[in-house]
Amino acid sequence: MVKGAISLVAGLVLFHCWVAMAEAEHLRYKDSKQPLNTRIKDLIDRMTLEEKIGQMVQIERGVASAEVMNKYFIGSVLSGGGSVPKPKATAKDWVDMINEFQKGALSTRLGIPMIYGIDAVHGNNNVYNATIFPHNVGLGATRDPQLVKKIGEATALESRATGIPYVFAPSIAVCRDPRWGRCYESYSEDHKIVQAMTELIPGLQGDLPANWSNGVPYVVGNKKVAACAKHFVGDGGTTEGINEDNTVATRHELFSIHMQAYYNSITKVVLTIMVSYSSWNGEKMHSNRDLVTGFLKNTLHFRGFVISDWKGIDRITSPPHANYTFSIEAGVNAGIDMIMIPFNYTEFIDGLTLLVKKNVIPMSRIDDAVKRILRVKFVMGLFENPLADYSLADQIGSPEHRELAREAVRKSLVLLKNGENVDKPILPLPKKSSKILVAGSHADNLGYQCGGWTIQWQGQSGNNITTGTPILSAIKHAVDKETKVVYEENPSLDYVKFNDFSYAIVVVGETPYAETNGDSLNLTISGHGYETIDNVCSGVKCVVVLITGRPIVIQPYLEKIEGLVVAWLPGSEGSGVADVLFGDYGFTGKLPRTWFKTVDQLPMNVGDSHYDPLFPFGFGLTTEAYKATSEYLSLLNISFAIFGVFLGYLLLLHFFYFRCWHHIGIVICIFSMFGLFFSFNYYTY
């Protein structure tokens, strides 16, 4: 009896071990050696409807928790603009928060990791101390896709440093009207420049292997992030530039201008694409099945996932959320795979569940969405490495990234006017002067020079919003130590006239904004900007630096301005502006947008029949850097140094033997003196 009982227990143990081993063997989705499609199918086959719908849900971090992730099988979490763990949060604060959400996702029955997303549109711009790069309009002025790729690489590192593997960038909108509040998020009015700047994608995601299958998603390791091309499609072509409005265009116009960069993005295997709030000829893009499923997925063979914009499906109806059940049906059936809800997730989950059970939304559509989401998660390695660590914390605002941003600023500056004529340029400015004036609301304001989407969604004013170098500080550091720099935000004409300034630098422009808050029908400089230009430039020779996300009204003041520079929205590294103003580097930037004379001309883009710009697309004066001259002088000084050493020897020889009284000795002495002088000059340069 006892032996029989022991045998029975042993048999049961062996049986359970065999079952467990067999179960483990069949969990193919957890085996990284299995083919990608095998892993996806194995996991899909195990999932309930509830688990599938959970994967399609993206919620805001403010309503997320480990418990919510576990209970509703949430597939993704995001930070909205300005949504942070706490003010001035460190990399550790971010990693700890995100890992807490991730642990909730991993504690579910199938342990599917969530993916965390953020709007890193010019660096990891929600994060305190991160490097803030120039906004896209400035990068378009550089005409340098490889620079943009490097910015993508730096942004990926600074995002991963905070535990974030997914960024909503790049914006590949083609802004056709600067009255649009998101125009600074567009690289150019010319789709060819926008296409070239899709190099940000391999910067973010990594370069594809040489023989990689066309269209299959790919991310190079855990120092890269998933990118998101946005906003599909035509967001930059709305009537009068009204945000989220209607783009009136033929199919040919839509495809030849606004669709072009999506071809490049898909060729570079962008992992996700975000749908636009806007409409095309009256049809909301969030419900446009013909373009989202028919063209993007079926014709272009996009194999990543399609994500909605923030409350994007709500806006299918007017007013938004008026018929949410219809919005869910229209958005999901159009082909949207992941829904950025971002708050009322239970309403969405309940609504979608009911629509599937009633066969209003077919199960095949749900499976397509979930397969795409899982494909991205698998290729990113989230199943193998779901939790972030602190190993990349030193990448936040690193010196290398700040120097890259400074280079981007230098290359983005566009010189529109340089003196009255080519024979009398005002730029580059001399570093050594008795006293110079710096004026304007934007000269000493880091928040203004960074613009919107910086720490806060709408951006903000002040030098304490994050770390960086305001333009005023950069100017003070760049000039000679004997040069007195006086800052007066809005000086009177009398003040300017009676203070004997050598010259003035006026830094004015737009105050920060994002999206609809930036829509403008007048496109004017903010605050007392025009008054400052008038007062300063009437009293002393001046250079005006414009901090702006787009062309603005400047023609009435152009005659008074001796030097006019567009710095766009340069970001945290204001030293890049000073580098070029004072000639350490030359001006090389070219206008990525047409500069209008009056707003009545808008919309006006290169190639239009009524094209009559103040400054045409592609315009940009150039200057030579002092550096080139200095290098020449250094070579000259080296020659004199060598000559000086030789003549110095002769000097000593004649001093001891001829006492310099012989006429030949006198000549040698003189030349020796020059040689020693230039030798000293070289070594102290």
Helix (H) or strand (E) holding 13: helix 2-26
Same domain for 106 and 69: yes
> What is the CATH number for 156?
3.20.20.300
Q: Residue 115 in contact with residue 376, Cβ under 8 Å?
A: yes
Q: How confident is the model at residue 214 (pLDDT cuts 50, 70, 90)?
A: confident
pLDDT of 631 > 50? The answer is: no
How far is CA 672 from each of CA 217, 642, 681, rounded to the nearest angstrom?
Answer: 70, 11, 14
Residue 490 counted as domain residue: yes
**Residue 4 has what pLDDT?**
54
More confident residue, 443 or 682: 443
| Contacts (Cβ under 8 Å, ≥6 apart) of 289 | 333, 334, 335
Same domain for 543 and 432: yes
**Residue 633 has what pLDDT?**
42
Average pLDDT over residues 181-202: 98
CA gap 656, 653 in Å, rounded: 6
Instruction: Please tell me whether residue 219 adopts helix, strand or coil conformation.
Output: coil
Residue 644 counted as domain residue: no
**At which of 601, 617, 638 does a domain end?**
601
Residue 164 counted as domain residue: yes
pLDDT digits (tens, 9 = 90+) for 325-342: 999 999 999 999 999 999
Q: Which of 6-20, 382-396, 429-443 has the lowest mean pLDDT?
A: 6-20
Q: How confident is the model at residue 213 (pLDDT cuts 50, 70, 90)?
A: confident
Average pLDDT over residues 203-216: 89
Where do we find the tokens 């660590």?
389
Neighbours of 11 (CB within 10 A): 10
Same domain for 274 and 224: yes
Same domain for 411 and 320: no
- List residues with catalytic annotation: 309, 515
Same domain for 372 and 405: no
Same domain for 411 and 314: no
pLDDT of 25 > 80? The answer is: no
Residue 6 counted as domain residue: no
Same domain for 521 and 376: no
CA gap 585, 411 in Å, rounded: 9
**Residue 474 has what pLDDT?**
98
Same domain for 219 and 80: yes
> What is the CATH number for 581?
3.40.50.1700
pLDDT digits (tens, 9 = 90+) for 243-273: 999 999 999 999 999 999 999 999 999 999 9
Quick one: what percent of the chain has pLDDT higher than 90?
86
Closest CA to 445 of 348, 572, 274, 316: 572
What value does the mean pLDDT of the chain take? 91
Q: How confident is the model at residue 682 (pLDDT cuts 50, 70, 90)?
A: very low
Q: How confident is the model at residue 211 (pLDDT cuts 50, 70, 90)?
A: confident
Residue 473 counted as domain residue: yes
pLDDT digits (tens, 9 = 90+) for 106-149: 999 999 999 999 999 999 999 999 999 999 999 999 999 999 99
Residue 683 counted as domain residue: no
Q: Residue 253 in contact with residue 238, Cβ under 8 Å?
A: no
Retrieve residue 407's tokens: 């280079």
**Residue 216 has what pLDDT?**
87
**At which of 322, 345, 380 does a domain end?**
380
pLDDT digits (tens, 9 = 90+) for 27-80: 999 999 999 999 999 999 999 999 999 999 999 999 999 999 999 999 999 999
Same domain for 50 and 132: yes
pLDDT digits (tens, 9 = 90+) for 659-678: 444 555 555 555 545 544 54
Q: How confident is the model at residue 190 (pLDDT cuts 50, 70, 90)?
A: very high
**Residue 685 has what pLDDT?**
32
Same domain for 316 and 407: no
Q: How confident is the model at residue 640 (pLDDT cuts 50, 70, 90)?
A: very low
Q: Residue 98 in contact with residue 163, Cβ under 8 Å?
A: yes
Where does 573-625 show beta strands of DSSP type E?
none
Closest CA to 488 of 528, 447, 432: 528
Residue 116 counted as domain residue: yes
- Domain extent, residue 481, equals 401-601
Retrieve residue 558's tokens: 């152009």
**Residue 626 has what pLDDT?**
82
Same domain for 407 and 323: no
Same domain for 409 and 373: no
| Contacts (Cβ under 8 Å, ≥6 apart) of 230 | 168, 169, 170, 171, 172, 173, 273, 274, 276, 309
More confident residue, 24 or 26: 26
pLDDT of 516 > 50? The answer is: yes
Residue 161 counted as domain residue: yes
Closest CA to 504 of 519, 520, 485: 485
**At which of 570, 586, 601 does a domain end?**
601
Where does 120-195 show beta strands of DSSP type E?
166-167
Q: How do the residues of the chain divide into helix, strand and coil, expressed in percent and rounded to 5?
A: 45, 10, 45
- Total structural domains within the chain: 2
pLDDT digits (tens, 9 = 90+) for 402-441: 999 999 999 999 999 999 888 899 999 999 999 999 999 9
3-state secondary structure 37-83: HHHHHHHHHHCCHHHHHHHCEEEEHHHCCHHHHHHHCCCEEEECCCC
**Residue 663 has what pLDDT?**
53
pLDDT of 463 > 50? The answer is: yes
More confident residue, 657 or 536: 536
Retrieve residue 362's tokens: 């077919």
**Residue 316 has what pLDDT?**
98
